[in-house]
Amino acid sequence: MSAAHPLKVLSVIAPMTQLNTPYPSTAYLTGFLRSRGFEAVQEDLALALVLELFSADGLKAVRERIAELPVPQRTMRVVAFDEEFDRYLSTIAPTLAFLQGRDATLAHRICSRAFLPEGPRFDSLDVYIDEDGGDPLAWAFGALGVHDRARHLATLYLNDIADVLREAVDARFEFVRYGESLALSQPTFEPLADALAAPLNLIDRTLLALTLAAIKRHQPRVLLISVPFPGAVYAAFRIAQAVKALDPSITTVLGGGYVNTELRELKEPRVFDYFDHLTLDAGERPLLALLEHLQGRRSAQRLVRTYRREPETGAVQYVNWIEADIAFAEVGTPTWDGLPLERYLSLLDMLNPMHRLWSDGRWNKLTVAHGCYWKKCSFCDVSLDYISRYEGASAATLVDRIEAIVAETGQTGFHFVDEAAPPKALKTLAAELQRRQLAVSWWGNIRFEKSFTPELCQQLADSGCIAISGGLEVASDRLLKLMKKGVSVDQVARVTKAFADAGVLVHAYLMYGFPTQTVQDTVDALEYVRQLFEHGCIQSGFFHRFACTVHSPVGQHPEEYGVTLQPLPAITFATNDVGFIDPTGVDHDALGVALRKALYNYMHGIGLEQDVRSWFDIRVPRTRVAPDRIARALASTESAP
CA distance 55 to 344: 14
Residues 418 and 302 occupy one common structural domain: no
Three-class SS state of 267: coil
Statement to judge: residues 436 and 416 lie in one domain: yes
Is position 336 within any domain?
A: no
Residue 40 shares a structural domain with residue 56: no
Domain at 228, CATH number = 3.40.50.280
What's the rounded Cα separation, in Å, for the pair 198 and 523?
47
Residue 429 identity (one-letter amino acid): L
149, 177, 205: which is the final residue of a domain?
Answer: 177
Residue 138: HSE in the Cβ half-sphere, 13 Å Cα cutoff: 8
CATH code at position 595: 3.80.30.20
Together in a domain, 242 and 127:
no
Structure confidence at residue 5 (pLDDT): 61
80: three-class secondary structure by DSSP: helix
Does 532 reside within a domain? yes
Last residue of a domain, one of 177, 202, 226: 177
Helices (H), 410-488: 423-435, 454-463, 477-483
Q: Tell me the residue type at 439.
A: A
Instruction: Give residue 391's identity as a one-letter amino acid code.
Output: E
C-beta separation of 229 from 17 below 8 A? yes
Query: Which phi and psi angles does 614 have, rounded to 5°?
Result: -70, -15
pLDDT the model gives residue 640: 40
CA distance 184 to 222: 27
Same domain? 212 vs 70: no
Q: Of 177, 201, 217, at which residue does a domain stop?
A: 177
Half-sphere exposure of 143 (CA within 13 A, CB side): 0
Q: Are 148 and 45 in contact (CB under 8 A)?
A: no
User: In this structure, is residue 368 part of a structural domain?
Assistant: yes
Q: Using CA atoms, how far apart are residues 532 and 157, in angstroms rounded to an integer?
A: 34
Report the C-alpha gap between 494 and 231 in whole angstroms.
37
Judge if 393 and 460 occupy the same domain. Answer: yes
Decide: 510 and 598 in contact? Cβ < 8 Å: no
Q: CB within 8 A of 414, min separation 6: which ones?
A: 363, 364, 365, 366, 402, 405, 440, 441, 442, 443
Of the candidates 544, 529, 546, the one whose C-alpha atom is nearest the C-alpha of residue 598 is 529
Looking at 385-452, which runs of residues are DSSP E strands?
Answer: 391-392, 413-416, 441-446
Tell me the backbone φ, ψ of residue 5, rounded to 5 degrees: -75, 150
**pLDDT at site 132:** 54
The 3-class secondary structure across 106-154, one letter per residue, is: HHHHHHCCCCCCCCHHHHHHHHHCCCCCCCCCHHHHCCCCHHHHHHHHH
Bridge partners for 253 per DSSP: 224, 277
Q: Decide if 305 is inside a domain.
A: yes
Burial 106-130 (b: 16+ CB within 10 A, else e): bbebbbeeebbbbbebbeebeebee
- Cβ 514 vs Cβ 546: under 8 Å: yes
Whole-number Å distance between alpha carbons of 240 and 253: 9
- Cβ pair 228, 20 in contact under 8 A: no
345: in domain: no
CB 281 within 8 A of CB 261: no
Q: Confirm if 453 and 419 have CB atoms less than 8 A apart.
A: no
Q: For residue 216, what are the domain limits?
A: 5-46+181-329
Other Cβ atoms closer than 10 A to 190: 14
Domains: count for the chain: 3
Mean pLDDT by 10 residues, the chain (641 residues): 70 94 95 96 97 98 96 94 97 98 96 95 73 59 78 96 96 90 92 97 98 98 96 97 97 96 96 98 96 95 97 95 93 95 93 88 94 93 91 95 97 95 96 97 96 97 97 92 94 97 97 95 95 96 94 95 93 93 91 94 92 89 87 73 30
Q: How far apart are the C-alpha atoms of 12 and 225, rounded to whole Å?
A: 5
In this structure, are 575 and 462 located in the same domain? yes
* Cis ω before 350 (30° cut-off from 0): no
**Residue 123 falls inside a structural domain:** yes
- Cβ pair 474, 514 in contact under 8 A: yes
Evaluate whether residue 602 is within a structural domain: yes
From the list 346, 351, 348, 361, the residue with the least C-alpha distance to 603 is 351
In one letter, which amino acid is 173? F
The CA distances from residue 526 to 6, 505, 596, 610, in Å, are 58, 20, 10, 12
In degrees, to the nearest 5, what angle opens at C-alpha 291 toward C-alphas 287 and 297? 130
Furthest C-alpha separation in the chain: 76
Residues 392 and 323 occupy one common structural domain: no
Is 299 part of a structural domain of the chain?
yes
Q: CA 175, CA 121: separation in Å to the nearest integer?
A: 15
Distance CA 126, CA 228 (A): 36
DSSP states along 498-562: HHHHTT-EEEEEEEE--TT--HHHHHHHHHHHHHHHHTTS-SEEEEEE---BTTSHHHH-GGGGT
**Same domain for 290 and 173:** no
Strand pairing report for 580-581 and 564-565: antiparallel
Q: How many whole angstroms separate alpha carbon 153 and alpha carbon 113?
A: 8
Residue 384 in 3-state DSSP? coil
Note whether 172 and 297 are same-domain residues: no
Q: What is the pLDDT of residue 2?
A: 43
| Same domain, yes or no: 141 and 238 | no
Q: 73 and 154 in one domain?
A: yes
